[in-house]
Amino acid sequence: MITRFASIFVRGAINKVIFPQRSFHLFRRYQPFLDFDEDRKFRLMLDVEDFHPRDIDVKIEEKRVKITAHKNNEHRNWRDSTQITREYDLPDDVDPSSVKSSVDSGVLVIEGDRRIAGDATQMSNEKEYIMNIDLNGFKPEEVSVKQNGDEIIVEAKQEIKNVGNDQSQSKLFRRFIRRFNLPHHINKEEIKAKYTS
């Protein structure tokens, strides 16, 4: 649950840290805050303080999140209408069927389960030692495998860029490192790494 303090911090992070060069208030207000936690969750947070939760619609279409918020203010002499629409791509490692949304203290939080790259299975017998590592969501050029003595180091880095319908941009960085100790009976000179889809 996001407290009022947390939502103020998130809004401050959105307004001051991520897009400090923007001066147009409405443009700045509705920028997302993206978060990849180590707890296997993907989070997208958006300031929707001006909208009632019933006026916010979140749809998941394949690997995209579409957010629409609309409100009307009517007074005796005037009428005002505000609407925002944002679309964001879900990263490849997020399960679209697990995505849920909630509004708390004026912040729309969209969360989805993700598979952590790097989960490994190992098989061994006297003749060979096979290690399979889940690299879902990473391209071959984003992965490096190194050997350092009895240790294998697998590292993957990725930058995800997202452009909103108003040409706003956000970036997300993912990285993991896995280290494995090799059994002593393995010939270190014959180690091979292979990427398969």
Specify whether 49 is located in the same domain as 86. Answer: yes
Q: Which two tokens stand for residue 117?
A: 């790259």
Same domain, 90 and 39: yes
- The band of 58, judged by pLDDT with boundaries at 50, 70 and 90, is very high
- pTM value > 0.75: no
What gap in Å lies between CA 183 and CA 180, rounded to an integer? 10
Domain of 68? 33-113
> What is the spatial distance between Cα 21 and Cα 134, in angstroms, rounded to a whole number?
39
For tokens 């969360």, name the residue.
111
Q: What is the pLDDT of residue 56?
A: 92
At 57 the pLDDT is 92
Last residue of a domain, one of 113, 136, 161: 113
> What one-character DSSP code corresponds to residue 75?
-
CA–CA distances in Å: residue 86 to residues 38, 49, 60, 166: 26, 15, 12, 8
Between 87 and 122, the higher pLDDT residue? 87
Hey, what are 57's tokens? 């619609």
- Do both 97 and 143 map to the same domain? no
pLDDT digits (tens, 9 = 90+) for 150-185: 888 888 888 877 666 666 666 767 777 888 887 777
Task: Tell me the Cα Rg of the chain.
Answer: 22
DSSP string, 88-149: EEPPTTB-GGG-EEEEETTEEEEEEEBPPTT-EEEEE-SS-EEEEE--TT--GGGEEEEEET
Domain boundary among 98, 113, 128: 113
27: pLDDT strictly greater than 60: no
| Domains held by the chain: number | 2
- What are the tens digits of pLDDT across the range 115-136? 655 555 666 666 677 777 877 7
